[in-house]
Amino acid sequence: MCLPSSERGHPEPKAKAPSTVQVSRAASSFSAAIDSSFPRSRGIHHRFIVDNPSRNHPSRSLPRASNPAEPNVNNESSLHLKQLLTGQRVLSLSVLVDGLPTIGLLPYALKPDFTAALVHASTLARHTRGLTLGAPFSCLIHADDDRASDPLQIPRLTLTGDVRPVETEAPDYRLLSEAYLKRLPQSEVTFSLGDFGLFELRFREGRFVEGFAAASNVTLEDLQHLANSNRAK
């Protein structure tokens, strides 16, 4: 009877781990296959990002206009982003409270220059405890879910930044509160309640996903371009 080598006291030879070059080639092949599955459309290159130890895959940003002072209104991706930002009225807000992530659903309005979102929150809500000066936040804005379509195709925007409570004595309180009420006039009653406060969610950067395998980095400049195009109408 012939015993396996492991039972005769000889260990089985270990399989060699793939080299960095092999992993790199495999990742490149996979990326190329994905690219061929999602061809260019609407002038945007859809790319599925693959971890690759030998090279970085920097995420693309929204294309800039040739003149940075002008709004990039001709880019379809930018137009979709503006439609999402100005068309929706609520965002999911995540903050830290006692070191733990806490999420809330809040109505929002945009600051006139699109560099921040304005929320009016009650101190009775747990998430408001995380809205302190300089506190980090992350928020998600997404389009409506259509049951007839693929949920992976729902456009969504994630934004990160820091918080600024807007005190009633602040020089810009009136301007920001008017911007909020212009967008959400039904919230006027909450401004007479003592436990509510106005908060500015100052954007730092974001990520816009138009659909499956179609994502873009969003910078503060991109948002300002959208605001300029909005005012130009």
* 52 and 28 Cβ atoms separated by less than 8 Å: yes
What value does the mean pLDDT take over residues 168-172? Answer: 97
Architecture in CATH for domain 76-231: Roll (2.30)
Residue 57: pLDDT over 60:
no
Per-residue buried b or exposed e for 161-179, using 16+ beta carbons within 10 Å of the residue's own CB: bbbbebeeeeeeeeebbeb
Question: What percent of the chain clears pLDDT 90, i.e. is strictly above it?
Answer: 58
User: Is 182 exposed, middle or buried (CB count within 10 Å of its CB: 0-12, 13-18, 19+)?
Assistant: exposed
**% of residues, the chain, pLDDT over 70:** 67
Q: Where in the chain is the domain with CATH 2.30.110.10?
A: 76-231
Confidence of residue 10 (pLDDT cuts 50, 70, 90): low
Q: What is the pLDDT of residue 77?
A: 84
pLDDT confidence band for 31 (50 / 70 / 90): very low
CA angle, residues 168, 113, 101, in degrees to nearest 5: 65
The β-bridge relationship of strands 136-142 and 116-122 is unpaired
89-116 pLDDT, tens digit each:
999 999 999 999 999 999 999 999 999 9
Report whether pLDDT(52) > 80. Answer: no
